[in-house]
Amino acid sequence: MGNEFSTPYEGPTELLEGRDIPSIAKYMKSDLCKKVFVMLGAGVSTAAGIPDFRSPETGLYSNLQRLNLPYPEAVFEISYFRENPLPFYTLARELYPGRFRPTLTHTFVKVLADHSYLDTCFTQNIDTLERQAHVPGEKIVEAHGSFADQHCIDCHARYDGAKMKAAVENGDIVRCEECDGLVKPDIVFFGESLPPLFQRMIPRLREADLLFVIGTSLKVHPFASLTSLVPESCPRVLINMESAGDIGSRPDDVVLLGRCDEVIRELARELGWEEELDREWGKTEILVPLEALRKGEARVEEKVSAEREEAVAAKHAEPEAAGVEAAVEEEEKRVEAEVEELTEMIEKALELSETLSGEPSDTKAEETKSPETSAPGPTLATGAPVASPPGKLDERASPDPEPPKEQQLKEKEKL
């Protein structure tokens, strides 16, 4: 695409006297330089304390592990946002305008506008630091969207900025007042179209007299492709910690490696703008109370912790339920076995008792019971025992029954 790094051009320059800061300043002061374009990347905002997306260990992606994301990029996927907006809102609170101060480089873009040089500032950043540096809004093109505005993801109704800011700082998830859909800042998520303004402003690059490319690795397209759209005669100046794209392959390309703010200050000094730059930067003090930010952090942390606990509980709920059911079943089996064992012991104890007492079976024992120990007979309705018929004695109660007649005759014969 013309943006991969190629062999540096070592021939003579055409418009510039050299490939250094004094040569750039001299060219800017000439009548040849009227329209300056600027491309800003994440490296410009890192000096403000905002971590970029791709730097190892300091990037935003690597700081998202505590949000229990399936993968870091999910925080910027619209489908995941619909299911779970909390991770994005947590991240949004960390990046929300008002927490960070614009850098000298952001302010330099504002000074370019003040001196009527700036045509357009294309930025990859979503932090709105260009706006906070008072760069004119009509000259800013936020290629990946920003926190400058917010809409419902369903009905696309606009949401009030002050309410949105208060909700994000409090750790609250915002719902649309029209349809109750989720509201998010106008940041371009993966799979979403780039802002229409970005598409409309691209052709203006053909009019560029000078292009500054600051703090970007030029690895994300289509933003990275913008450098190839300026005229071949247009000087391109890369200010970055390392080489990027194909800048350096044209006669008037200048590569200035180093920290953005340090290089910009040196350029401002050559232009005679250093005092103005410091004065304008002094107007960008952060106005958000630190205590309010800390309270918001505590509320967000509580919500993140609560969500983490719910996720863990849900993950283990099913195995725990199965474990409880198995435990109940095991306990029922144990009780049943104990009852069976006790029943068997009682039966054996009864058999042993009968053997030791020598008592007859239940039927014979009933026949030999004495009157005192025998059970009462049938009872009347009143509960009194039933009496024997008149003239008869209870056979069980007769103490001396009369001997049979045959026995009496034998006794007489003996006499």
pLDDT tens for 214-249 read 999 999 889 999 999 999 999 999 999 999 988 988
Mean pLDDT, residues 63-80: 82
Over residues 116-144, the pLDDT tens digits come to 999 999 999 999 999 999 999 999 999 99
Work out the number of other CB atoms within 10 angstroms of the CB of residue 170. 14
**Sequence ranges of the binding site for Zn(2+):** 152, 155, 176, 179
pLDDT for 306 equals 55
Instruction: For residue 144, indicate whether it is catalytic.
Output: yes
363: pLDDT strictly greater than 60: no
pLDDT at 155: 95
Residue type at position 247: I
Long-range contacts of the stretch 187-193 (C-beta < 8 A, 24+): 187/76, 187/126, 187/144, 187/145, 187/146, 187/147, 188/143, 188/144, 188/145, 189/76, 189/77, 189/78, 189/81, 190/73, 190/76, 190/77, 190/78, 191/77, 191/78, 192/78
Overall CATH class of domain 21-292: alpha beta
- Range ranked top by mean pLDDT from 66-70, 72-76, 319-323: 72-76
pLDDT band (50, 70, 90) for residue 115: very high
Give the tens place of pLDDT for each residue, 149-182.
999 999 999 999 999 999 988 889 999 999 999 9
Which H/E stretch holds residue 186? strand 183-187
Pairing of strands 183-187, 145-152: antiparallel
Residue 15: phi, psi to the nearest 5? -95, -35
- Residue with the bigger pLDDT between 406 and 37: it is 37
The domain limits of the chain are: 21-292
pLDDT at residue 304 tops 60: no
Burial of 223 (0-12, 13-18, 19+ CB in 10 A): buried
Average pLDDT, the chain: 77
What gap in Å lies between CA 277 and CA 248, rounded to an integer? Answer: 28
User: Which letter does DSSP use for residue 408 in this model?
Assistant: H
3-state secondary structure of 63: helix
Least confident span in 96-105, 211-220, 279-288: 279-288
Contact 156, 179 (CB under 8 A): no
| Tokens describing residue 108 | 């330099």
Please calculate the CA angle 388-391-392 and round it to the nearest 5 degrees. 50
Q: How far is CA 248 from CA 5, 8, 224, 225, 286, in A?
A: 8, 5, 15, 15, 37
SS3 at position 15: coil
Q: What is the pTM of this model?
A: 0.66
**Nearest alpha-carbon partner for 45 in 260, 224, 217:** 260
Catalytic residue among 106, 134, 144, 221: 144
* pLDDT, position 297: 45
pLDDT of residue 400 exceeding 80: no
Q: What's the mean pLDDT in 52-58?
A: 57
User: Mean pLDDT across the stretch 344-372?
Assistant: 49
